Amino acid sequence: MSRPRELYARLTQNGESALDQLIADFQSENLWLDFKQAHKAGAGASLAQDDRENFAKAVSGFGNSDGGVIVWGVDCRRDPKTGADLPAGKHPIQNPYRFVSWLEGAVSSCVTPAASNIEHVVLPGATTEGYVASLIPASDLAPHQCIQPSTKLQYYMRAGSSFVPVPHAVLAGMFGKRPQPKLFTFYDGKPTLINDTVLDIDFGVRVMNEGPVTADGAYLSFCIQVSRPNCRIGFKPRLGEAWSAHQAYGRFFNMTALPTFRLAPHSPVQPVRFQLQFAPPFTDNYIFELYYGADGATPGHVRVDLSVNELVRVYTTSIELLKKMPWDEAMQEIFTYFLGQKGDAA
Protein backbone atom coordinates (compact mmCIF):
# COMPACT_ATOMS: atom_id res chain seq x y z
CA MET A 1 0.00 0.00 0.00
CA SER A 2 1.39 3.42 -0.96
CA ARG A 3 2.17 5.97 1.76
CA PRO A 4 -0.68 8.35 0.78
CA ARG A 5 -3.24 5.53 0.65
CA GLU A 6 -2.06 4.15 4.00
CA LEU A 7 -2.50 7.59 5.59
CA TYR A 8 -5.90 8.05 3.95
CA ALA A 9 -7.02 4.61 5.18
CA ARG A 10 -5.97 5.51 8.72
CA LEU A 11 -7.98 8.75 8.61
CA THR A 12 -10.96 6.94 7.07
CA GLN A 13 -10.96 4.21 9.72
CA ASN A 14 -10.29 6.34 12.80
CA GLY A 15 -11.78 9.72 11.88
CA GLU A 16 -11.00 12.76 14.00
CA SER A 17 -8.99 10.70 16.49
CA ALA A 18 -6.46 9.93 13.71
CA LEU A 19 -6.25 13.64 12.96
CA ASP A 20 -5.73 14.40 16.66
CA GLN A 21 -2.93 11.82 16.72
CA LEU A 22 -1.18 13.50 13.77
CA ILE A 23 -1.30 16.81 15.63
CA ALA A 24 -0.19 15.26 18.94
CA ASP A 25 2.76 13.62 17.15
CA PHE A 26 3.75 17.00 15.63
CA GLN A 27 3.38 15.45 12.20
CA SER A 28 4.83 17.98 9.80
CA GLU A 29 3.76 18.48 6.23
CA ASN A 30 5.82 16.29 3.93
CA LEU A 31 5.92 14.77 0.46
CA TRP A 32 2.56 13.02 1.01
CA LEU A 33 0.69 15.25 3.48
CA ASP A 34 -0.63 18.80 3.27
CA PHE A 35 -2.79 20.67 5.79
CA LYS A 36 -5.19 23.38 4.66
CA GLN A 37 -7.52 25.71 6.57
CA ALA A 38 -10.76 26.13 4.62
CA HIS A 39 -11.57 29.73 3.75
CA LYS A 40 -14.00 31.11 6.35
CA ALA A 41 -14.52 27.54 7.63
CA GLY A 42 -16.38 26.59 4.46
CA ALA A 43 -19.09 29.23 4.89
CA GLY A 44 -20.72 30.61 1.78
CA ALA A 45 -22.74 29.40 -1.15
CA SER A 46 -19.91 27.75 -3.11
CA LEU A 47 -16.26 26.75 -2.89
CA ALA A 48 -14.16 29.83 -2.16
CA GLN A 49 -11.63 30.80 -4.80
CA ASP A 50 -8.76 30.39 -2.29
CA ASP A 51 -9.84 26.80 -1.62
CA ARG A 52 -10.32 26.16 -5.34
CA GLU A 53 -6.78 27.34 -6.10
CA ASN A 54 -5.25 25.38 -3.21
CA PHE A 55 -7.08 22.24 -4.33
CA ALA A 56 -6.05 22.70 -7.98
CA LYS A 57 -2.40 23.20 -7.02
CA ALA A 58 -2.52 20.02 -4.91
CA VAL A 59 -4.17 17.99 -7.68
CA SER A 60 -1.41 19.06 -10.04
CA GLY A 61 1.45 18.75 -7.51
CA PHE A 62 0.47 15.43 -5.94
CA GLY A 63 -0.71 13.97 -9.25
CA ASN A 64 2.61 14.84 -10.91
CA SER A 65 4.56 13.33 -7.97
CA ASP A 66 3.89 10.31 -5.74
CA GLY A 67 0.38 11.25 -4.67
CA GLY A 68 -0.71 12.69 -1.33
CA VAL A 69 -3.43 13.62 1.12
CA ILE A 70 -4.86 17.04 1.96
CA VAL A 71 -6.46 17.41 5.39
CA TRP A 72 -8.89 20.33 5.31
CA GLY A 73 -9.65 22.21 8.52
CA VAL A 74 -6.17 22.43 10.02
CA ASP A 75 -4.00 25.52 10.28
CA CYS A 76 -0.32 24.87 9.54
CA ARG A 77 2.59 27.17 10.37
CA ARG A 78 6.37 27.15 10.02
CA ASP A 79 8.10 26.29 13.31
CA PRO A 80 10.85 28.91 13.85
CA LYS A 81 13.11 26.44 15.67
CA THR A 82 13.00 23.47 13.29
CA GLY A 83 11.75 25.05 10.07
CA ALA A 84 9.13 22.31 9.77
CA ASP A 85 5.55 23.10 8.72
CA LEU A 86 3.56 21.87 11.75
CA PRO A 87 -0.19 21.79 12.44
CA ALA A 88 -1.00 24.77 14.70
CA GLY A 89 -4.68 24.13 15.44
CA LYS A 90 -7.94 22.69 14.20
CA HIS A 91 -10.54 24.87 12.48
CA PRO A 92 -13.52 22.64 11.68
CA ILE A 93 -15.50 23.14 8.49
CA GLN A 94 -19.17 24.09 8.54
CA ASN A 95 -21.17 21.34 6.85
CA PRO A 96 -18.18 19.22 5.72
CA TYR A 97 -20.40 17.02 3.51
CA ARG A 98 -21.33 20.07 1.47
CA PHE A 99 -17.63 20.99 1.29
CA VAL A 100 -16.90 17.54 -0.19
CA SER A 101 -19.56 18.06 -2.85
CA TRP A 102 -17.94 21.37 -3.77
CA LEU A 103 -14.53 19.69 -4.10
CA GLU A 104 -16.00 16.93 -6.26
CA GLY A 105 -17.57 19.54 -8.51
CA ALA A 106 -14.28 21.43 -8.82
CA VAL A 107 -12.16 18.49 -10.01
CA SER A 108 -12.93 18.95 -13.70
CA SER A 109 -11.84 22.60 -13.63
CA CYS A 110 -8.64 22.11 -11.59
CA VAL A 111 -6.14 20.71 -14.06
CA THR A 112 -5.70 19.64 -17.63
CA PRO A 113 -5.85 16.84 -18.53
CA ALA A 114 -8.55 16.18 -15.96
CA ALA A 115 -7.49 14.06 -12.98
CA SER A 116 -9.28 10.88 -11.89
CA ASN A 117 -9.52 8.56 -8.87
CA ILE A 118 -9.56 11.41 -6.35
CA GLU A 119 -11.33 10.43 -3.14
CA HIS A 120 -12.73 12.43 -0.20
CA VAL A 121 -13.84 11.41 3.28
CA VAL A 122 -15.49 13.43 6.04
CA LEU A 123 -13.97 13.21 9.51
CA PRO A 124 -16.99 14.13 11.61
CA GLY A 125 -16.51 16.42 14.60
CA ALA A 126 -18.46 16.53 17.86
CA THR A 127 -21.08 18.83 16.27
CA THR A 128 -22.31 19.36 12.72
CA GLU A 129 -18.84 20.68 11.88
CA GLY A 130 -15.94 18.45 10.90
CA TYR A 131 -12.91 17.91 8.72
CA VAL A 132 -12.24 16.53 5.25
CA ALA A 133 -9.40 14.38 3.90
CA SER A 134 -8.76 14.30 0.14
CA LEU A 135 -6.68 11.51 -1.43
CA ILE A 136 -4.95 12.54 -4.66
CA PRO A 137 -3.11 9.53 -6.13
CA ALA A 138 -0.11 9.68 -8.41
CA SER A 139 -1.50 9.99 -11.93
CA ASP A 140 -0.81 7.87 -14.99
CA LEU A 141 -1.89 10.87 -17.09
CA ALA A 142 0.78 13.24 -15.74
CA PRO A 143 1.87 15.90 -16.27
CA HIS A 144 -1.19 17.88 -15.15
CA GLN A 145 -1.27 21.64 -15.65
CA CYS A 146 -2.93 23.66 -12.91
CA ILE A 147 -5.53 25.97 -14.48
CA GLN A 148 -6.62 27.81 -11.33
CA PRO A 149 -6.43 30.74 -11.49
CA SER A 150 -6.90 30.80 -15.24
CA THR A 151 -4.52 33.76 -15.50
CA LYS A 152 -1.59 31.75 -14.10
CA LEU A 153 -1.21 28.37 -15.78
CA GLN A 154 1.50 26.24 -14.15
CA TYR A 155 2.71 22.67 -13.70
CA TYR A 156 3.46 21.76 -10.06
CA MET A 157 5.26 18.96 -8.25
CA ARG A 158 5.66 18.13 -4.56
CA ALA A 159 9.03 19.01 -3.04
CA GLY A 160 9.36 18.59 0.71
CA SER A 161 6.33 20.28 2.25
CA SER A 162 5.59 22.59 -0.69
CA PHE A 163 4.16 22.58 -4.19
CA VAL A 164 6.74 24.07 -6.55
CA PRO A 165 6.77 24.75 -10.30
CA VAL A 166 8.14 21.81 -12.31
CA PRO A 167 11.56 22.64 -13.80
CA HIS A 168 11.71 22.62 -17.59
CA ALA A 169 14.02 19.58 -17.80
CA VAL A 170 11.74 17.53 -15.55
CA LEU A 171 8.65 18.66 -17.42
CA ALA A 172 10.18 17.70 -20.76
CA GLY A 173 10.88 14.21 -19.40
CA MET A 174 7.33 13.88 -18.05
CA PHE A 175 5.84 14.67 -21.44
CA GLY A 176 8.04 12.08 -23.08
CA LYS A 177 7.68 9.21 -20.62
CA ARG A 178 5.64 6.08 -21.17
CA PRO A 179 3.47 4.42 -18.51
CA GLN A 180 5.67 2.70 -15.94
CA PRO A 181 5.18 -0.08 -13.37
CA LYS A 182 4.69 1.00 -9.76
CA LEU A 183 5.71 -1.45 -7.07
CA PHE A 184 4.92 -1.51 -3.37
CA THR A 185 5.48 -4.12 -0.68
CA PHE A 186 3.45 -5.40 2.26
CA TYR A 187 3.75 -8.21 4.77
CA ASP A 188 1.79 -11.11 6.12
CA GLY A 189 2.79 -13.23 9.09
CA LYS A 190 2.45 -14.06 12.75
CA PRO A 191 4.39 -13.02 15.86
CA THR A 192 4.60 -15.60 18.64
CA LEU A 193 6.26 -15.99 22.01
CA ILE A 194 8.44 -19.04 22.69
CA ASN A 195 9.15 -20.03 26.32
CA ASP A 196 8.15 -16.51 27.43
CA THR A 197 11.50 -15.07 26.30
CA VAL A 198 11.96 -15.60 22.56
CA LEU A 199 10.04 -13.25 20.28
CA ASP A 200 9.45 -15.08 16.99
CA ILE A 201 8.34 -13.09 13.93
CA ASP A 202 7.48 -15.23 10.92
CA PHE A 203 6.53 -13.09 7.92
CA GLY A 204 6.26 -13.15 4.16
CA VAL A 205 7.11 -10.24 1.91
CA ARG A 206 4.62 -9.61 -0.85
CA VAL A 207 5.10 -7.28 -3.76
CA MET A 208 2.40 -5.83 -6.00
CA ASN A 209 2.53 -3.85 -9.20
CA GLU A 210 -0.16 -1.16 -9.13
CA GLY A 211 1.03 0.44 -12.36
CA PRO A 212 -0.76 0.13 -15.71
CA VAL A 213 1.93 -2.04 -17.37
CA THR A 214 3.77 -5.25 -16.51
CA ALA A 215 7.02 -5.07 -14.51
CA ASP A 216 10.22 -6.70 -15.78
CA GLY A 217 13.29 -7.28 -13.63
CA ALA A 218 11.55 -7.00 -10.26
CA TYR A 219 13.87 -7.28 -7.25
CA LEU A 220 13.88 -7.24 -3.44
CA SER A 221 17.15 -6.54 -1.64
CA PHE A 222 17.44 -6.89 2.16
CA CYS A 223 20.01 -6.03 4.77
CA ILE A 224 19.05 -7.50 8.17
CA GLN A 225 21.30 -7.23 11.22
CA VAL A 226 20.49 -8.86 14.58
CA SER A 227 22.40 -9.39 17.81
CA ARG A 228 24.20 -12.73 17.78
CA PRO A 229 24.14 -15.42 19.07
CA ASN A 230 20.67 -15.35 20.68
CA CYS A 231 18.91 -13.63 17.77
CA ARG A 232 18.48 -15.48 14.50
CA ILE A 233 17.47 -14.93 10.88
CA GLY A 234 15.72 -17.57 8.80
CA PHE A 235 15.71 -16.94 5.03
CA LYS A 236 13.02 -18.89 3.13
CA PRO A 237 13.03 -17.99 -0.59
CA ARG A 238 10.36 -19.36 -2.87
CA LEU A 239 12.21 -20.45 -5.96
CA GLY A 240 11.11 -22.11 -9.17
CA GLU A 241 10.45 -20.60 -12.56
CA ALA A 242 9.94 -17.03 -11.34
CA TRP A 243 12.69 -15.97 -8.88
CA SER A 244 16.34 -16.50 -8.04
CA ALA A 245 17.77 -15.97 -4.55
CA HIS A 246 21.13 -15.10 -3.05
CA GLN A 247 22.47 -14.44 0.45
CA ALA A 248 25.82 -13.26 1.75
CA TYR A 249 27.55 -12.82 5.10
CA GLY A 250 24.43 -13.78 7.03
CA ARG A 251 22.84 -10.34 6.61
CA PHE A 252 22.39 -9.62 2.90
CA PHE A 253 19.53 -11.32 1.05
CA ASN A 254 18.03 -10.66 -2.36
CA MET A 255 15.36 -11.98 -4.66
CA THR A 256 15.48 -11.23 -8.39
CA ALA A 257 12.79 -12.07 -10.93
CA LEU A 258 14.00 -14.33 -13.72
CA PRO A 259 13.93 -12.93 -17.28
CA THR A 260 10.92 -15.10 -18.10
CA PHE A 261 8.81 -13.67 -15.25
CA ARG A 262 6.82 -10.44 -15.66
CA LEU A 263 4.80 -9.06 -12.76
CA ALA A 264 1.32 -8.25 -14.05
CA PRO A 265 -0.60 -5.16 -12.84
CA HIS A 266 -2.67 -5.62 -9.67
CA SER A 267 -1.43 -9.14 -9.00
CA PRO A 268 0.52 -9.79 -5.76
CA VAL A 269 3.31 -12.33 -5.40
CA GLN A 270 5.23 -13.50 -2.33
CA PRO A 271 8.76 -14.49 -3.33
CA VAL A 272 10.24 -14.85 0.17
CA ARG A 273 9.53 -15.45 3.84
CA PHE A 274 11.71 -14.69 6.84
CA GLN A 275 11.77 -15.89 10.43
CA LEU A 276 13.31 -13.48 12.93
CA GLN A 277 13.91 -14.48 16.54
CA PHE A 278 14.86 -12.04 19.29
CA ALA A 279 16.13 -12.95 22.76
CA PRO A 280 18.29 -10.95 25.19
CA PRO A 281 20.94 -9.94 25.87
CA PHE A 282 21.18 -7.49 22.97
CA THR A 283 24.66 -6.26 22.10
CA ASP A 284 24.22 -4.75 18.61
CA ASN A 285 21.83 -2.43 16.82
CA TYR A 286 18.96 -4.02 14.93
CA ILE A 287 18.68 -3.05 11.26
CA PHE A 288 16.00 -4.02 8.77
CA GLU A 289 16.46 -2.43 5.36
CA LEU A 290 14.62 -3.22 2.15
CA TYR A 291 15.16 -1.88 -1.36
CA TYR A 292 12.75 -2.91 -4.10
CA GLY A 293 11.91 -1.99 -7.67
CA ALA A 294 11.79 -3.11 -11.30
CA ASP A 295 12.88 -1.92 -14.72
CA GLY A 296 11.46 1.57 -15.23
CA ALA A 297 9.84 1.73 -11.76
CA THR A 298 10.72 4.26 -9.09
CA PRO A 299 12.78 2.36 -6.47
CA GLY A 300 11.29 1.91 -3.00
CA HIS A 301 13.09 1.90 0.35
CA VAL A 302 12.18 0.85 3.90
CA ARG A 303 14.60 1.17 6.82
CA VAL A 304 14.34 0.42 10.54
CA ASP A 305 17.41 1.14 12.67
CA LEU A 306 17.11 0.50 16.42
CA SER A 307 19.85 1.17 18.94
CA VAL A 308 20.44 -1.43 21.65
CA ASN A 309 18.31 0.58 24.10
CA GLU A 310 15.52 1.01 21.55
CA LEU A 311 15.67 -2.71 20.75
CA VAL A 312 15.29 -3.58 24.43
CA ARG A 313 12.28 -1.26 24.65
CA VAL A 314 10.41 -2.60 21.60
CA TYR A 315 11.25 -6.20 22.51
CA THR A 316 9.83 -5.70 26.01
CA THR A 317 6.76 -3.92 24.65
CA SER A 318 6.16 -6.68 22.10
CA ILE A 319 6.35 -9.39 24.77
CA GLU A 320 3.79 -7.48 26.87
CA LEU A 321 1.47 -7.04 23.88
CA LEU A 322 1.52 -10.75 23.05
CA LYS A 323 0.70 -11.62 26.66
CA LYS A 324 -2.31 -9.33 26.96
CA MET A 325 -3.98 -9.38 23.53
CA PRO A 326 -4.54 -11.70 20.54
CA TRP A 327 -1.50 -12.03 18.29
CA ASP A 328 -3.33 -10.66 15.22
CA GLU A 329 -3.97 -7.41 17.12
CA ALA A 330 -0.50 -7.23 18.65
CA MET A 331 1.17 -7.83 15.28
CA GLN A 332 0.24 -4.41 13.93
CA GLU A 333 2.48 -2.64 16.43
CA ILE A 334 5.12 -5.39 16.47
CA PHE A 335 5.47 -5.40 12.67
CA THR A 336 5.73 -1.62 12.66
CA TYR A 337 8.50 -1.76 15.28
CA PHE A 338 10.62 -4.36 13.49
CA LEU A 339 9.62 -4.18 9.81
CA GLY A 340 8.62 -0.57 9.27
CA GLN A 341 4.97 -1.12 8.36
CA LYS A 342 1.89 -3.05 9.43
CA GLY A 343 1.02 -6.49 8.13
CA ASP A 344 -1.84 -8.87 7.48
CA ALA A 345 -2.51 -12.00 9.52
CA ALA A 346 -0.96 -15.09 7.94
Q: Which DSSP string do the residues of 70-130 spell out, in sequence order?
A: EEETEEEEE-TTT--EEEEEE-PBSSHHHHHHHHHHHGGGTEESPP---EEEEEE-SSS-E
Contact 225, 287 (CB under 8 A): yes
Q: Tell me, what's the pLDDT at 345?
A: 64
Q: What angle do CA 309, 315, 319 make, to 5 degrees?
A: 150
**Where do the domains of the chain lie, and which CATH numbers do they carry?**
3-176 (3.30.950.30), 183-345 (2.60.40.10)
Residue 158's DSSP bridge partners are 163
Q: Tell me, what's the pLDDT at 157?
A: 94
Q: Tell me, what's the pLDDT at 177?
A: 66
Q: Kindly report the backbone phi and psi dihedral angles of residue 299, in degrees, each rounded to the nearest multiple of 5, phi listed first.
A: -65, 150
Q: Tell me, what's the pLDDT at 1?
A: 66
pLDDT along the chain (346 residues), means of 10: 87 91 88 93 92 95 93 90 85 94 93 91 84 92 90 90 87 75 90 94 93 91 93 92 93 95 91 96 94 90 93 96 92 92 72
Q: Tell me, what's the pLDDT at 298?
A: 85
pTM, whole model, 2 decimals? 0.58
Q: Tell me, what's the pLDDT at 37?
A: 93
Q: Tell me, what's the pLDDT at 134?
A: 96
Q: Tell me, what's the pLDDT at 241?
A: 81
Q: Tell me, what's the pLDDT at 267?
A: 85
Is-cis flag, bond preceding 259, omega within 30?
A: no
